[in-house]
Structure 1
């Protein structure tokens, strides 16, 4: 397995232990841990698995939430789901699992700190879930989700609101209208972009940055809510 030149079998075993799943197809595991900067020469990146994992994660979390909160309606369940599959939550789980050290990235990107970017870590979690699904079906994904997302889910007694929704409601309650989001800048290579977004509402301004425009908008809204002491 190419994700660790020496001790490759040990590295694979460590990842499988972390995930609670032993892969029948080791190439899926290798691909899930390969950042696009390290792809090439017959080695695929984790983008395709991330695409699958995003959908699988949503399904696994939705089923779990429906079981755990039998009296909540779609809107409340949707807010819980959006929070649990959000970039900050996924990145936090990746850090807890020790994924930054296991990701295969190009040397230049490694020196630039790509392994620590929230967007890259969140993508890696989704890619691993996609790999687990293709290798063993939904059951190992559900086990992982329930084991690793439980603390985050139970920490929210009430369905959480995403930052953009909370800021919009704050502004509307004060007759300010809707927040306006603008891209201040976009930098970095195509495989690791960095968006900086400015949000304006009622004379108040917040800035946020992330690897996607949507995540940067959430970060900007969150920053402004924090400055306004809005919980």
Structure 2
């Protein structure tokens, strides 16, 4: 666990906490030794993670209503996001699993590696306290948090576009991913939004969600709705 201890600078010293954080309940314990598994640390780490994200959002977006903040936090700590972060730290390699769980691909399972990440956060909190744990969480999610202003600017656009199109006949807008470019660490997505065979708008962004939301802004402008956008409108073209 000495390698894993270096996820924090300076490295963690209580390696027994890391052992516990990486031990799944399926792992067999030697007879006569107290049972250690990561569920309690996961429980603690989940709370630390949620509070760290909530604290950052609260201070970064002082004018947003609580409902929006809550949705942003939910999006940031979804299981697929946690699993992606866990894999970036190679936590699957450090997991201690029972033979059956390991044989069934447990080291790649979204739920297991995500739980291990939360347990690791719990271990960091127990050794270093709130400030270090919160700072570590913010650093881990820095890219996603940095992209939130674009996402929040566009959040209402998708909802308003759906409301607008329903008023015009009840159809739902369709978002089509038309291009993905760039290396894995710097992807660019291009999306079109269509309604009943008509192209309403195009959008681009660093994520598919951001591109869809930008396309929704352009579509609202094409429909004559009020939508704030720092760029000129690009109107959709009729389908052939």
- Relative to the length of structure 1, the TM-score reads 0.62
Alpha-carbon distance between aligned partners in 1 of 2:58 and 2:139, rounded to the nearest angstrom: 17
Alignment of 1:166-205 (within 5 A): 174=170
| Larger Rg over CA atoms | 2
Q: Which is bigger in relative contact order (C-alpha 8 A, separation at least 6)?
A: 1
- Paired residue total: 163
- Where structure 2 has 5 or more consecutive residues not aligned to the other structure, the ranges are 173-215, 217-240
Shift in alpha-carbon separation, 1:116–1:103, aligned structure 2, 3 A: same
Query: How far does residue 65 in structure 1 lie from its aligned partner after superposition?
Result: 1.1
Structure 1, gaps ≥5 residues long: 1-11, 177-229
Cα distance 1:39–1:68, how it changes in 2: closer, same or farther (>3 A)? farther
Contact 1:21 1:132 in 2 (8 A): no
Deviation at 1:21, TM superposition (A): 5.4
Counterpart check, 1:72 vs 2:61: no
Q: Distance in 2 between matches of 1:96 and 1:85?
A: 15
- The alpha-carbon deviation at position 89 of structure 1 amounts to 0.7
2:92 to 90, 100, 109: 100
Shift of 1:22: 3.0
Q: What is the CA-CA distance between 1:39 and the residue it aligns to?
A: 4.7
- How big is the alpha-carbon RMSD for the aligned residues of Structure 1 and Structure 2? 3.0
CA deviation after TM superposition for structure 1 residue 108, in Å: 2.2
Of 6, 9, 12, the residue aligned with 1:23 is 12
1:120 deviates by: 0.6
1:62 aligned partner: 54
Partner of 2:134: 142
